[in-house]
Amino acid sequence: MKKVIYFLSFTACLQYATAQPPAFDTSGTLKEQQEKIITASTIVKIENLGPTINTQYPELRPTISADGNLLFFIVENHPSNTNYRNIRNSQDIWYAFRDEDGKWGKAYHLGYPLNTYYYNAVFWISPDNNRILVRNAFINGDYVGNGVSMSQLRRDGTWSKPEMLKIKNYLK
């Protein structure tokens, strides 16, 4: 199984990529990389994720779930963003699910309580998809500054208000 990597192209659109090493077998075909890591010698194949993800707006900072079926990303300057009218280059979190055929479904704006401030982002998704690490420090869902916060998926399918993680020497 090939390692799947999500990253940005130079045109600021989310792209799908598979990583392989620069090693060839005797027939001249690329051999699959043994270690599932990206190195300086990794070759990347780029494909557009399709119209449900790629839009006229910049899509940035993709984060994919461990099972590869849930994608969080930022859309910049979208009219549905929380502070679109007030903040230049507003960035809100959006998400999409991959269907049984491997196609990405419609992208949805994540909304409150995770899209609240100037620049929002998901940095990590737990392997069970029930916790996410988000950009900025929040106390009881209120923005308090730079940092990272954790939010949990509730039984009703909504996300809890993010709570700041206290990280020793974070500002260094």
Residue 43: CB atoms within 10 Å: 13
Query: In sequence order, what are the beta bridge partners of 104?
Result: 98
**Rounded distance, CA 27 to CA 102, Å?**
29
Residue 36 lies in a domain: yes
The sheet with strand 59-64 has its strands ordered as: 59-64, 70-76, 91-97, 108-109
Residue 118 lies in a domain: no
Alpha-carbon 96 to chain mean position: 10
Residue 5 lies in a domain: yes
Residue 104 lies in a domain: no
**Rounded distance, CA 161 to CA 111, Å?**
11
**Mean pLDDT per 10-residue interval, the chain, length 172 residues:** 41 46 61 69 75 92 93 94 88 96 95 89 96 95 92 96 90 73
Number of domains in the chain: 1
pLDDT at residue 131, rounded to an integer: 97
pLDDT at residue 123, rounded to an integer: 96
**Rounded distance, CA 16 to CA 2, Å?**
12
Residue 25 lies in a domain: yes
Which residues form the domain of 41?
1-48
Residue 141 lies in a domain: no
Contact criterion met (CB below 8 Å) for 115 and 107: no
Residue 19 lies in a domain: yes
Residue 24 lies in a domain: yes
pLDDT at residue 85, rounded to an integer: 85
Check: pTM over 0.85? Answer yes or no: no
- Hey, what are 88's tokens? 């230049």
pLDDT at residue 5, rounded to an integer: 44
pLDDT tens-digit readout, 125-149: 999 999 999 999 999 989 998 899 9
